[in-house]
Amino acid sequence: MSVAGDAIDAAVFAPVRSQTAFEETLERLGNAIRLGLLLPGTRLPAERELCAQLEIARSTLRQALIALVESGHLVAVRGRGGGTFVADAPPVHERPTPEVLAGWRDACDARMAVELGVAVLAAERAPASSIAPLEELVAAMDARLGDFPAYRQADVRFHVGLAEATGSTRLVAAMTEAQAAMTDLIHYIAHPREVLAWSNAQHARLVVCLERRDPATAMAVMVEHLHGTEHVLAGLLPAP
């Protein structure tokens, strides 16, 4: 392998340090495929080797690989000579406008500011009556992992429901605006079931934080949740 190839491998397969290991792994591999660092037909290292290189659990790696297979970036081949390969024709989704691509991080930053405040205040203030509707939305999303439009509808209602639990009409309006901006972004990427299931597990943890009046953990879970979305967008949005 060339020196350049060694350098690329060192970057793509360096240890994953983030708490959101699943999403960061997805971002790392998705970016490498999108940018042509992993060419079509390239076979990824064996799972055991890849886990050692990335320093992540095998279950985390498998979830990321499944998500990238579902999104069309990778192909899993069984049997002798099988393995996980970069797809010959990576998926082509509707291309966002240059303005959308240029502003996606700003949209994520604005959402972070709103959602963290909502998570803390909801955990401090949420009335008992707000818990059951949020739990119902988590269950609805679990049942709709294969139907992204329906999943997303429940997802938006969940986050707006968190804002409603704070008792602040201004935060409800701010959350609605932030969710609208994210909907514009995620329209342009694939929505693998594994990614949605991972995200919804965090929704369930947020509800527990509200039940326990635990704002510190609610904020930590929300940071993890939002950083995960950013990793997915970074890995699956088209290159500018």
- pLDDT, average across residues 31-36: 74
Among 85-89, 130-134, 199-203, whose mean pLDDT is lowest?
85-89
Rounded distance, CA 221 to CA 218, Å? 5
Q: What is the pLDDT of residue 13?
A: 75
pLDDT in tens, 198-236: 999 999 999 999 999 999 999 999 999 999 999 888 888
Beta bridge partners of 86: 74
124 — pLDDT class (breaks 50, 70, 90):
very high
14 — pLDDT class (breaks 50, 70, 90):
confident
Among 6-10, 34-38, 113-117, whose mean pLDDT is lowest?
6-10
- pLDDT, average across residues 118-140: 97
Rounded distance, CA 114 to CA 163, Å? 9
Q: What is the pLDDT of residue 63?
A: 87
Rounded distance, CA 185 to CA 106, Å? 11
Rounded distance, CA 15 to CA 26, Å? 13
The model carries a pTM of 0.73
Q: Positive or negative CA dihedral for 163, 169, 171, 175? A: positive
Q: Which residues contact 125 (CB under 8 A, 6 or more apart)?
A: 165, 166, 167
Rounded distance, CA 116 to CA 215, Å? 10
What domains lie within the chain, and their CATH numbers? 3-86 (1.10.10.10), 98-236 (1.20.120.530)
Report the 3 state secondary structure along the chain.
Answer: CCHHHHHHHHHHCCCCCCCCHHHHHHHHHHHHHHCCCCCCCCECCCHHHHHHHHCCCHHHHHHHHHHHHHCCCEEEECCCCCEEEECCCCCCCCCCCHHHHHHHHHHHHHHHHHHHHHHHHHHHHCCHHHHHHHHHHHHHHHCCCCCHHHHHHHHHHHHHHHHHHCCCHHHHHHHHHHHHHHHHHHCCCCCCHHHHHHHHHHHHHHHHHHHHCCHHHHHHHHHHHHHHHHHHHHHHCCCC
* Greater pLDDT, 79 or 109: 109
pLDDT in tens, 147-165: 998 999 999 999 999 999 9
Place of tokens 């979305």: 229
CB 175 within 8 A of CB 162: yes
Q: To the nearest whole number, what is the mean pLDDT of the chain?
A: 87
CB 176 within 8 A of CB 160: yes
- pLDDT, average across residues 100-108: 87
CB 72 within 8 A of CB 34: no
Beta bridge partners of 76: 84
